[in-house]
Amino acid sequence: MKKSDIILRIGFFVSLCLAILVAAGCKKSVEFKDVILITGTENGKLLPFTVENAPATYALTATATGKVTNDVTINFAVDTGMVANYNAEVSGKYFAAPAGSYELSANSSMIKAGNNVSDPINVKILSLDRFVTGRTYLIPVTIKNVSGSNSVLEASRTVYLKVSRIIDFNSIDISNPSFYATYKFPQPYTNISQFTFEIKCFVNDFQPRINRLCNWGPANEAYPNLLRFGEFGSDPNQLQWVAPGGSAFSSTRFATKTWYTVSCVFDGSKYIMYVNGKLDSSFDGSPRTFELGALELGMSYAGYEYSQSISARISEIRLWNKALSRTEIASGICGVDAKSEGLVAYYKMNEGSGNVFYDRTGNGRDMTWPKSTVWLMDDNNKCAQ
């Protein structure tokens, strides 16, 4: 066979294959049908439902991918059993909103002929009384069925409304160096092989020097875990974590008058810092044990109270005897369930008066602070959970 004949035959087969592909594509295009989905789920099925006070409503609609030629009825339902499925899908720890705390204004809606968006139904939060601080709640609303020959896009059949509560809270003003002290626990918590230490902070301004935030560690104050801003060689608004196994500076540059949750994790071989639930920095370390025997706020060493003072407020100090995951940390920005597994000490610092910081876990590690305490609650102290 001549070379030219071979080339012609190859060309023929290529043309034939292209014709088949084009025909198949045209056929697929002809068979395409418009589908129904819950509006807003095109890029994800977890949507925020911000609630500052109850009652509060969220308008929910369904969308068709093209204008419908006949009226289409969409039937909705809340299915709390789907929360467990979603948790398994995303490795989450969400809770179903408490029964009786919400309602649907209607169970069905309609996309009228010539339109592609339905009339809204309202998901209404009736009360927040049964919502537990530290838990993140979902309301799963799903399309049960639609009328006519319309089909539902399965990936967007269900929306998970994440109830983001706006929480007001008290905090402690640690701007006055006369507040700084070290509390030594009568019964230290020892033999901690993994930990997560968390604190919320709000800095009024950064001085061009060391701004000491806190440290915790053994009762003899040797080898503590220390948090401070502005260590020499770093920016004034750059946080340094000094641990027994090494140290790291934050990638985050902290803004003034902004709340941040700092989470310091040791998983047995690596020290990992998160800021507002996002991975910030890390360094390697060796296996060892730790102790919660003392907690220092500010810089209480003689002669350093003023030279390393910090103008700030704090709240939400927690110690866990396990390494929290990023998902667990992100879900606890505003607070956590005091009965959470692995939580060994939890100081919300939300009492509002006095100088006793209660351990909300019930483990009895209440702290009676030796100095007078100034409490602050204003419009800056808000958190969306």
Task: Report pLDDT for 1.
Answer: 46
Ramachandran assignment for 309, one of left (phi > 0), alpha (psi -120 to 50 degrees), beta (any other): beta
Per-residue pLDDT of 268-279, as tens digits, reads: 999 999 999 999
- Cβ(218)–Cβ(293) below 8 Å: yes
Task: Report the C-alpha gap between 126 and 4 in whole angstroms.
Answer: 80
199-248 per-position pLDDT tens digit: 999 999 999 999 999 999 999 988 899 999 999 889 999 999 999 999 99
Do the first three CATH levels of 35-166 and 171-384 match, i.e. the same topology?
no
The list of the chain residues with pLDDT below 70 reads 1-32
pLDDT of residue 17: 41
Structure tokens at 60: 């929910």
The CATH topology of domain 35-166 is Immunoglobulin-like (2.60.40)
Domain extents in the chain? 35-166, 171-384
Q: CATH class for domain 171-384?
A: mainly beta
As given in the structure block, the two tokens for residue 345 are 């000490």
Q: Residue 5 is inside which H or E element, if any?
A: helix 3-31
